[in-house]
Structure 1
Amino acid sequence: MNGVFTDSNVILNHLRDDKRSTEMLKKIQSGEIKGYVNQIVFSEVLYTYMKYVTKEKSYGLKKNPEKIKDIKIGDTVALFDLFEFLHFDDSMLGLTEEMITTYGLLPNDALIAATCKSYGIRDIATFDNDFKRVDFLNVWRL
């Protein structure tokens, strides 16, 4: 599968006006690069964005559902229209365990690496150095 898996930090940095991340998303939007994400990236982006705009820590946000309801997430959700979603399912559980035990990844990163391996994706755009330990991934440092 050609294209690049896009880690949540690239999308979050775009939301913070990082030029490198924005340039990457423009290439995906134009079709120059095929971009992929999974449910983990979607969740991480929304959760981090919600904490950022409310200036709340995780526990404070969780205890304030009215504040959560007031967050305008439409533009952030719309960014995901740029990407093809690669769905993670229970057939990848063993592969996720392998990513943890072989490369020392934390669970969310292991789920991302397992998704890439399962779909045959070799390239990942990220600011996370942990993916450099994964021998089948080519890390695009922006």
Structure 2
Amino acid sequence: MGSSQIWREINKINIKVESRGIEGYIPTIVLNETLHRLMIAETIKERKAKNVRDALFILKNDRETIPRLEVCWSEINKILDMDFIILKEKPNTFLNSIEISKRYSLLARDAYIASFAEDYSIENIATFDKDFERVDFLKVWKL
């Protein structure tokens, strides 16, 4: 799925959130991961890197690259301007994610996201990731 299609799907959800048709939540880990990927993508797109590994090397070692990025900051600000409630980590979020990872065979990040949902009594998740279908306390809305 291309980035323009992803943004169309996100936009559909945002419209529902803004119209108060649904409540939207974003855990801080999702914002962090999104910004990280946007930084890498912009570095590659600007032809400063050929692949993810090269992009990470440049981002870590060229202190002028990150301040000069523009698209990633613009895109993350678009997300922050949406009417989503940003969920912060609770004291047991990480520890609970370990058990969720084991119980549902989830990778660490996915278990961490599921742990946020459990901590905040969230029962629905909109995602591209089918792994969340294994989590019995979440109803998955596929994008």
TM over 0.5: yes
Structure 1 stretches of 4+ with a deviation exceeding 4 A read none
- Structure 2 residue aligned with 1:61, among 55, 59, 62? 59
% identical equivalent positions: 33
Shift in alpha-carbon separation, 1:94–1:76, aligned structure 2, 3 A: closer
- Structure 2 residue aligned with 1:33, among 22, 43, 46? 22
SS of equivalent residue, structure 2 residue 64: helix
Provide the rounded CA distance (Å) in 2 between the counterparts of 1:49 and 1:40: 14
Gaps of 5+ in 2: none
SS of equivalent residue, structure 1 residue 17: helix
Q: Partner residue of 2:126?
A: 125
TM-score, normalisation: structure 2:
0.81
Provide the rounded CA distance (Å) in 2 between the counterparts of 1:62 and 1:106: 25
Gaps of 5+ in 1: 1-8
1:77 alignment partner AA:
N
Q: CA deviation at 1:125?
A: 0.3
Q: How does 1:1-142 map to 2 (within 5 A)?
A: 16-18=3-5, 19-55=8-44, 56=49, 57=52, 58-72=56-70, 73-82=73-82, 83-142=84-143
Q: CA deviation at 1:75?
A: 4.0
CA contact (8 A) 2:90 2:119 kept: no
Q: CA deviation at 1:105?
A: 1.1
RMSD over aligned CA atoms reads 1.9
TM-score, normalisation: structure 1:
0.81
Q: CA deviation at 1:102?
A: 0.4
Larger Rg: 2
